[in-house]
Amino acid sequence: MSKIAVIIRNEYVAFYASLADLLSKTNHVQVLVDNPSVKKIVSRVAPDISSLVRVLPERRLDPQVTKDTTVTAVNNERRLGVRYSSFLAKDRALGRGYMSNIDGYPSFGREYWPHEQRLESLNREVDLYSKVLLGIDVLISQWPEAVPIAICEAHGIQHFHLLPIKFGDRYYWSTDSYKGSEELKNAILSAIHGARNCEELPSTSYEVDSCSSAVISQISYDLRGACLASFRIAKRDIYNLLKKRSKPNSVRTFGWIPSRFRKYRNSRFVNAKGIGLESVQNKKYIFFPLHMEPEVSLYLFSPEFINTFEALVWLSKSIPADWQIVVKEQPNGFQFRAHHFYQRLLQIGNIRLADTNTKAWDWIKHSQAAAVFTSTVGIEAVHFEKPVISFSRNQYINLLPTVFEARSFEDTLTAVSQIENLAQGAAELQISRVSLYQAQQSVSFPLENLPKMAKSSVPDEHTVYFAGKQLMTRYSKF
């Protein structure tokens, strides 16, 4: 019987509450929730575990610096083997200065805290999770959060995170800090070995990631959508003000409204300057999808390097004179980037902006390659037998023979040269496609209804049971 801690934030509350209830039948479980509202939902969905729920303290309150603040921070760094600055860089507020491509993101009160206050805030968080995870065998959370996971890895605590495998409605249990797992990596390496010894590689069919597809299908660029979204934000913020529920040191009241109109303005500019596929017929180009910033995936896959603009500069300087780079914005990215970001891109001669009405799949299929940080596009490119330049060292697709990791300008130049010499339909491209497909299928399982539970307070019992069964049968800790 294992001791399990389940962290529940503000998404998939009913799912994780029901999962904790299921695991409590055969294990000792404690549930850590983000706020009292989440606790109410957990208690309603799973009343049998209501006594096991603990509300985590508010972490946005001003921390009081002490004479021991810096010494404690240094000692914690040594104990955990992690620099505090790496924690800060993953935080939208405390690490705002690291995020150079999102000038339009709303301001947080915490982003102006002095350095010592930030250290003290982290000291409190490290102290909290060191205590609540003491004696725990397993941690389950939606994402591998920086501080809890650092403590888990320092103390040998296994951690699990249910994430989309980026193939249809299939999910898998991630077990590392980078949205991957040893099971997945081993499956890829085994599949590559098998594919190299196969006389005839099978055909495969890719299915669009249902989770991403559901989000993108709800995107609106028009002025009416901006007005409606702003009205909902104003209504919510006024309600929170009246109820005194506004979060301390967070985004100011109505602070999210300007981003909705920025999205409208920026998308209009890009569409006016952007191109369709017909503009690059018979031309060679690399497809570069921009990433939502700040985004969990970006800081998990690529904590060392997240500068999209710098990566584009490397790529621009690396491609031949008759090649171009087609840049497509992530639909929600328009709201957080300053207008001049797109203007600067257009000042680079071999970069073109893609019209918002074009589809990523079409750009991939006609490209020479894709270049990504963490995007689903990297996975899709492999399935379409296209080489990939990866600016993140932690993506599991980096194990494939036609994915070229780029940590510097020199790496980028080398990757482009290798892609130039890679013939369309080459055996290595087929090996990558088949290996990725087989690995994704072997470690994942279908959860068709899970995306519907992101904001729902009603669990789908079959989904919970199936996800829990996969967890308990695949891993010995259960």
Task: Check if the beta carbon of residue 80 is closer than 8 Å to that of residue 129.
Answer: no
Stretch 104-121: mean pLDDT, rounded? 92
Q: 300 falls in which pLDDT band (50, 70, 90)? A: low
pLDDT of res. 4 = 97
Please state, in angstroms and rounded to a whole number, the distance separating the CA atoms of residues 200 and 438.
15
Q: Which has more pLDDT, 174 or 305?
A: 174
pLDDT in tens, 156-184: 999 999 999 999 999 999 999 888 899 99
Hey, what long-range contacts does 406-411 have (CB within 8 A, 24 or more apart)?
406/311, 406/314, 406/371, 407/304, 407/305, 408/314, 409/314, 409/317, 409/318
Collapsed DSSP state (helix, strand, coil) of residue 372: strand
Task: Express as a percent the part of the chain with pLDDT over 70.
Answer: 96
Stretch 245-270: mean pLDDT, rounded? 91
Q: Which has more pLDDT, 423 or 391?
A: 391
Please say if the pLDDT value at position 296 is more than 80.
no
Q: 301 falls in which pLDDT band (50, 70, 90)? A: low
pLDDT in tens, 185-236: 999 999 999 999 988 899 999 998 887 766 666 788 899 999 999 999 999 9
